[in-house]
Amino acid sequence: MKLTIPNTFLAGYDFSSPEPNHSPQIKYDSGTKNHYCQLDSNTSFSPAIKKKYTQLTNKDHVWIRAQVDIFIPRENTDEPPLLVMTFSRREGLYGYNAIALPQDSIRKGEWLKLNYDYLTPDIRSAKDEFQCYMWYRGKKPVFIDNLKADVFVPK
């Protein structure tokens, strides 16, 4: 789907300034001088982008485009990580979507970009929280970088 409505950067992680509670999963590549997040059997979830609906819009819905860079090492045979977008409230999650790289686009040993456009569900409360994160069910390491979300607000 092509979104032509003006967008606003919502939030993101490039992992170059890791937060203290995320530091064990943040790695540094001295060759590329780049920081990235490692997901593996010990760390299944990336840091999450979290925003209250009131921080997104005062409209009844928005589109959110999330993107992330993913690196799957050649020797990794596990399922690829999932990009998750959902809303959270005290009673649980709703509007949950999780997508992976299409199998035919996976090239191991290369950085790949995953994009996904998400239409917010009917919001139950303006205090509900949007969440965007990576979820990895595998054991062997994979790496993510540049997790970000942009908001497209209707006019």
Q: Which residue has the tokens 């819009």?
A: 57
Q: What is the pTM of this model?
A: 0.86
**Over the stretch 45-54, which tens digit does the pLDDT of each residue have?**
999 999 999 9
Count of Cβ atoms closer than 10 Å to residue 51 Cβ: 16
What per-residue confidence (pLDDT) applies to 146?
Answer: 93
What per-residue confidence (pLDDT) applies to 26?
Answer: 75
Domains and CATH numbers, the chain: 8-152 (2.60.120.260)
What per-residue confidence (pLDDT) applies to 25?
Answer: 74
Residue 79 backbone phi and psi in degrees, to 5: -65, 145
Per-block mean pLDDT, blocks of 10 residues, the chain (155 long): 59 69 68 83 94 91 94 96 96 96 92 95 94 97 94 82
What per-residue confidence (pLDDT) applies to 21?
Answer: 56
